[in-house]
Amino acid sequence: MTLDLDSLSALVERPDDEARARLKARLPQQTGAAGALGRLEDVAVWLAGVQGGETVRAIARPRVVVFAGDHGVAAREVSVHPYGHTAEAVRDAAAGGGAVGLLAEQFGAGVRVVDMAVDADAATLPDAVAKHRVREAGGSIDRQDALTPAEAEQAFRTGMEIADAEIDGGADLLLLGDIGVGNTTVAAVLVGALTGTDAAAAIGRGSGIDDATWIRKCAAIRDALRRARPVLGDPLRLLAVSGGADFAAMSGFLLQAAIRRTPVVLDGVASAAAGLVVQRVAYRTPDWWLAGHVTPEPSHAKALDRMALEPLLDYKLRYGEGTGALLALPIVQAAARLAAELPVTEPVADEPKPADEAPAADELPAAAPDISLEK
């Protein structure tokens, strides 16, 4: 059965405005002055809205979900990473290694890695990782579609199912990451098409490319944008033509998390590009997301601006794997903890003096001057 995106869009509600208003009124009583916690207050108020309820709750079970996939456009030599890098990074992350594994352990988050289109023998990856695979690598989007329409829908549904599984498993904050050679090229195409940005203005240095590689990447994005523009009115078709299985899965994941009223911290340009696609499906969805950081990729800043998301961090990070979202996690946890547990401080009232206590000499009123006019 074909996905009815309009019906799904209608399921996305606004965060709890009353909960936001309650916390805004309460925070000055907790901190002693409005704005005392700076941007932590913005994060806390966002949490109040997405959590709902009478008070903000501390983050108990954050979960990182990393979607992985290879992209045929990588054959145009648009990345410094060699063939096989994605599969190697997926194996490391699934085993608790890589930057995502190290930071997740540091900050107390669980990790789930999902192979959507890794160009490697599925038998070389853990079964739990490879079982959702749609295909081995996407088509080269400058010349052919990334996916068939059926594959795009399958990947989108998979993302929705994984969001459900994580939320049903108790996750109260989701962090979205990605692994894949060529994914900044795909992201630049999606963002460029959805924001009306041309190729040269949409791309940066990605994995750390040199000038010659940048020129090749720019040409590939230019050609891919020509193919993307005619299908902008159909988000699933756009993901099939110009995205990939990992981008389709991230899109489904983000939409279902919003439907399930579960907050998500976005990572890099790939998750932001997926978010931009989902915003076309349901305009309220960005209310449920927080931008963990902004990368040096120009298309990342453009996507966040279009979704009205202000990144928490700007460390010029371009590593991927959810590392930027993880670095933002302790900030979100701190905001939640302070809002949840700082006591309300009552203002100190002046103590009344006993009725029979004479006022001190320096408290007596000055004698009125003699202003009599009698001679």
Strands (E) located in the chain: 62-69, 110-117, 173-179, 264-266, 289-291
Cα angle for residues 139, 141, 145 (degrees, 5° grid)? 60
Question: Which run of H or of E encompasses 53?
Answer: none
DSSP 349: P
Helix or strand (DSSP H, E) at 258: helix 245-259
DSSP string, 152-181: HHHHHHHHHHHHHHHHHTT-SEEEEEEE-T
Q: Number of C-alpha atoms within 13 angstroms, CB side, residue 313?
A: 20
Catalytically active residues are 321
Distance CA 275, CA 42 (A): 21
Q: Which residues contact 363 (CB under 8 A, 6 or more apart)?
A: none
210's CB contacts (< 8 A; 6+ apart) are none
Which residues lie closer than 8 Å to 127 by C-beta, 6 or more apart?
Answer: none
